[in-house]
Structure 1
Amino acid sequence: MIQDDKPTTQLLINIAEQTLILYRQHNEVGRYAISTATNGSGSQQDSGCTPLGEHTIAQKIGDSEPINTVFIGRVPTGEIYSAHLNAEHPDRDWILSRIIWLAGLEDGINKSSNNQGSCDTYQRYIYIHGTPDSEPMGIPRSHGCVRMRNHDIIELFAQVNVGTPVTITDDIIG
């Protein structure tokens, strides 16, 4: 993977607005509807929340996989998502097409632990990933990850590198 030494690309994930904005040299070059955690924002292990703060892209997984590839444990299963597959496995939390695995950068906030226990984004397996196209965007519905449309995650995946900075906020900007 290529790493950003002096990042000119940045991501801003806004939980309040359910958007992910891609910046290049401080100019907005992409805006995507997303779906973050049903449980809101938070960093604690097993909270089901989306963590706030400064992050980085730690790993990119699935570069050459077809759209709608199903991942379990970050490994492609060989399955391609379909309504039929969903009917066979109705309780799966579908992780599709690409995985952008995040790591927190702030000790005690989204990295390592604090007085409430583990709060480590990376150890919590917080990703930006594809989800079934039948899932709504703009509505918090995930278990902590950031869900995107499959075409959108493939487009974003191609424009970011390991080391790209990611800020997650719940502030209303507009």
Structure 2
Amino acid sequence: MAVAKNNSLTRIVMLLCFGTAFLSLVVHWRITTSTTSQPNMANTSKTALRTQSQSQKPDPQNGIALLSTFASPKQTTNAVSQNKQLVVDLSDRRVYVYSGETVIASYPIGVGKTGWETPTGSFQVLHKQRNPIWQHPITGKVFSSGTDSPLGDRWIGFWTDGRNQIGFHGTPDDEVIGSAISHGCLRMRNPDVRLLYTQVNLGTSVEVRQ
């Protein structure tokens, strides 16, 4: 009887050991399968995040394209520029600010003198600057910004040949407004050019008529 009990106990122990070993193999297989599949999911997630991150960063080429758009005669910088237009009447010696079909402001100007006539045609605002510095086109003398600057305290450029520029600017001498006095630029009273500066943007169209 003791031998039979021992044999039964031995079988039970062997079955328990076999079951434990089998369970360990199953658990190990599940863990191995899980760990081998997880890296692929992690890599996929990282790739997706990296792609999303890259798509949200400004592309340098787009940035360059956007800057080029500002100087393109067929484009404007924003909705305000699209609705605004400057019309310069050289005979009238005035600049008219249009919003759509409506004149919202008008300012007297000084225009180019004989031999330095203001160019006519269709242009757009290419450059805006506060407190500009001016170099005399003949003598080469440089005039710094300030109350006595020949350009006043605002510059709105709309024409260039790559070296010389023409635009609207202020003047310390209000008496010359309304006459043909400049080297092609359109001189304005300082308070007027400050207002005009706030009414236009890069890309605003400028029509200069004789």
Tell me the TM-score range normalised by the shorter chain.
Answer: 0.5 to 0.7
Give the CA deviation at 1:55.
0.4
Unaligned runs of 5+ in 2: 1-69, 71-75, 136-141
Paired residue for 2:78?
Answer: 4
1:152 aligned counterpart, secondary structure: helix
2:122 to 43, 47, 54: 54
1:79 aligned counterpart, secondary structure: coil
AA in 1 matched with 2:183: H
Between Structure 1 and Structure 2, which shows a larger proportion of helix residues? 2
CA offsets, 1:101-137, max 9 Å, x none? 1137xxxxxxxxxxxxxxx3x6431011001244322
Paired residue for 1:15?
Answer: 90
Q: Distance in 1 between matches of 2:117 and 2:145?
A: 29
Aligned partners of 2:167 and 2:185 also within 8 Å? yes
Aligned partners of 2:93 and 2:111 also within 8 Å? yes
Aligned partners of 2:143 and 2:150 also within 8 Å? no
Q: Which has the larger radius of gyration?
A: 2
Aligned partners of 1:100 and 1:157 also within 8 Å? yes
AA in 2 matched with 1:4: N
Q: CA RMSD in A?
A: 2.5
Aligned partners of 1:70 and 1:76 also within 8 Å? no
Between Structure 1 and Structure 2, which shows a larger proportion of strand residues? 1
2:112 to 37, 48, 51: 37
* Identity %, equivalent residues: 29
1:126 aligned counterpart, secondary structure: strand
Paired residue for 1:142?
Answer: 182
Paired residue for 1:132?
Answer: 172
Unaligned runs of 5+ in 1: 40-46, 63-68, 82-92, 105-119
- Superposed counterparts of 1:113-128, under 5 Å: 120=161, 123-128=163-168
Aligned partners of 1:4 and 1:164 also within 8 Å? no
Number of aligned residues: 129
Give the CA deviation at 1:56.
0.4
Q: TM-score, normalised by structure 2?
A: 0.55
Q: TM-score, normalised by structure 1?
A: 0.66
Runs (4 or more) in structure 1 with deviation over 6 Å come to none
